[in-house]
């Protein structure tokens, strides 16, 4: 659902560009290879998620600092409550503001 909201808001789902890549976990190397030149990365917020800043992302692996989105400070994180259906419009509005 979140990828559909992103596409409707003006984004392009990188996963749809590569049908061999799915939602399963992937290695850092595969993630960097797939998303290296991506302009924006949207992370899904989860309760207790330790990733709050770009430094937190870079601390996971130095390789994540190679991502264009990280270098340009274009990493965004959804709010936990965006997973509720009554907040989809808010999410679409905010994503459109990011992509516009």
The band of 69, judged by pLDDT with boundaries at 50, 70 and 90, is: very high
Tokens standing for residue 94: 């905010």
The band of 50, judged by pLDDT with boundaries at 50, 70 and 90, is: low
Mean pLDDT for the stretch of residues 15-34: 72
Mean pLDDT for the stretch of residues 27-52: 80
DSSP 35-79: HTT-S-EEEPP-TT----SHHHHHHH-GGGGGSHHHHTT-EEE--
Higher pLDDT, 74 or 49: 74
The band of 87, judged by pLDDT with boundaries at 50, 70 and 90, is: confident
What pLDDT score does 98 carry?
A: 80
Return the number of other C-beta atoms located less than 10 Å from residue 4's C-beta: 11
CB burial of 25-47 (b: ≥16 within 10 Å; e: otherwise) equals: eeeeeebbebbeebebbbeeeee
pTM for the structure as a whole: 0.69
- Domains of the chain and any CATH numbers: 2-95 (3.40.50)
Collapsing DSSP states into helix, strand and coil, what is residue 93? Answer: helix
Backbone angles phi, psi at 17, to 5 degrees: -75, -25
Average pLDDT score over the chain: 78
Top-ranked range on mean pLDDT: pick from 4-13, 27-36, 86-95 = 27-36
């Amino acid at each position: 659902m979140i990828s559909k909201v992103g596409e409707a808001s003006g984004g392009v789902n990188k996963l749809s560009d590569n049908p061999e890549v799915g939602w399963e976990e992937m290695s850092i190397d595969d993630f960097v290879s797939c998303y290296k030149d991506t302009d924006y990365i949207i992370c899904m917020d989860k309760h207790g998620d330790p990733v709050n800043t770009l430094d937190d992302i870079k601390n996971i692996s130095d390789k994540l600092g190679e991502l264009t989105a990280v270098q340009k400070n274009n990493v965004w994180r959804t709010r936990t409550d965006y997973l509720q259906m009554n907040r989809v419009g808010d999410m679409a509005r905010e994503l459109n503001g990011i992509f516009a």
